[in-house]
Amino acid sequence: MVRRNFSRFLIVIETGLLDDGRWIPVRKRKHLAWMAALILLVITLVSPLITMSVASAADSKNLIYDEANLLNEQEKSELNAMANEYGAERQTDFVIYTSNNEEQKSEILLTEDFYDDQGFGYDKAHGNAVILTIDMYNRKMYLAGFYKGKEYIDNGRADKITAKIAPDVTDGNYKLAFEKYIKLSYEYMGIRPGVNPDNILFNIWFQLIASIAIGGVVVGVMAYRSGGRVTVNRATYEDSSTSSVVDRQDRYIRTTVTKRKIEKNNNNGGGGGGGGGGTTRGGHSHSGSSRSF
């Protein structure tokens, strides 16, 4: 006899007895048994999801420090969720820091002191981190990579990121600029150091088109070979002993001159990158790129 405890009554599957001694019909017994099994199944499936959700919320940390009030609450919440999600895959904190810089520090020192004070790091204090600082006093941005962030977001890659987000920062499209920063940092950290991350070979559309082209060539070659080979050509009926060039002449047609205007870069997307890396007062080395907006 198998017993199962469910809510307020006990079902005895073989006999159909309730805990108060009453009998229940066979159909009702089966119905209750199926309902009980279904409830157990739902609890079994849902419990891990609830646990994961609670754990995920507990593990989420604040990575958006908008002291200059450039974002609303919804934008900060969305960016923070995005930074936590992308950062977890790269085991690196992707941090956004905006400041009115009342102490009037340089954008580099502002970032360095912020890292020292906050101790960012994915799995430990002062660990892997990438910080984008928006200095509203000097109208400059600074992107710095620490530890693994420094290895993958070196000075060159940091310059590429600040150059790509500068137009949006200049236009006041801060949320869009910050989303680009997180996505680009995530993308670049997935490419081994020392390789140009903007190489067309890493472009997903290029890879797709190349795959289709290669597949087409392979199919074409197979189709060509399946039709058999043609063995007759020009030399089959040509008598090389009696064949020769009868006449040859050169004739001038025309001369063509092409003019091309050299475009100038007006640099409307912010000042040139630079700044390089350095070491914080706490002794933490970092890469970096500074750019005005």
Q: Classify strands 64-66 and 93-99 as parallel, antiparallel or unpaired.
A: parallel
Strands (E), the chain: 3-6, 9-12, 64-66, 93-99, 129-135, 140-146, 278-279, 285-292
Q: What is the pLDDT of residue 212?
A: 77
3-class DSSP state for residue 133?
strand
Considering the domain architecture, whether residues 16 and 148 belong to the same structural domain is answered as no
Domain housing 105: 62-201+270-292
In this structure, the answer to whether residues 15 and 117 fall within a common structural domain is: no
pLDDT of residue 284: 98
Tell me, yes or no, whether 173 lies in a domain: yes
User: What pLDDT, on the 0 to 100 scale, is given for residue 112?
Assistant: 98
Q: Beta-carbon neighbour count of residue 191 at 10 Å?
A: 15
Say whether both 288 and 189 belong to one domain.
Answer: yes
Is residue 246 included in any domain, yes or no? no
DSSP 206-272: HHHHHHHHHHHHHHHHHHHHHT------GGGS--TTT------------------PPP----TT-SP
Task: Give the span between the Cα atoms of 139 and 158, in whole angstroms.
Answer: 18
Give yes or no: residues 123 and 137 share one domain: yes
Give me the number of domains the chain comprises.
2
Residues 12 and 130 in one domain: no
Q: Give yes or no: residues 8 and 106 share one domain.
A: no
Per-residue pLDDT at 276: 82
Q: Is the dihedral of CA 269, 271, 275, 280 positive or negative?
A: negative
What are φ and ψ of residue 11, in 5° steps? -100, 125
Q: Is residue 286 part of a domain?
A: yes
- One-letter amino acid of 178: F
Helices 73-90 and 174-188: angle between axes, nearest 10 degrees: 0
Please check whether residues 144 and 284 belong to one and the same domain.
yes
Residue 234 lies inside a defined structural domain of this protein = no
What helix, strand, coil percent values describe the chain, rounded to 5?
45, 15, 40
Same-domain check for residues 49 and 97 = no
Q: Give the per-residue pLDDT at 235.
A: 66
The pLDDT of residue 52 is 41
The answer to whether residues 39 and 146 belong to one domain is no
| Domain-terminating residue out of 58, 75, 98 | 58
Residue 85, pLDDT score: 98
| pLDDT score at 158 | 98
State the 10-residue block means of pLDDT for the chain, 293 residues long.
45 47 57 70 60 48 98 98 98 99 97 98 97 98 98 97 98 98 98 87 58 72 65 67 71 73 53 79 98 96
Q: Are residues 285 and 149 in the same domain?
A: yes
- Give the number of other CB atoms < 10 A from CB of residue 116: 15
The amino acid that residue 213 corresponds to is A
Q: Is residue 120 part of a domain?
A: yes
What integer pLDDT is reported at residue 38 of this predicted model?
72
Same-domain check for residues 122 and 178? yes
For helices 155-170 and 174-188, give the axis angle rounded to 10 degrees.
160
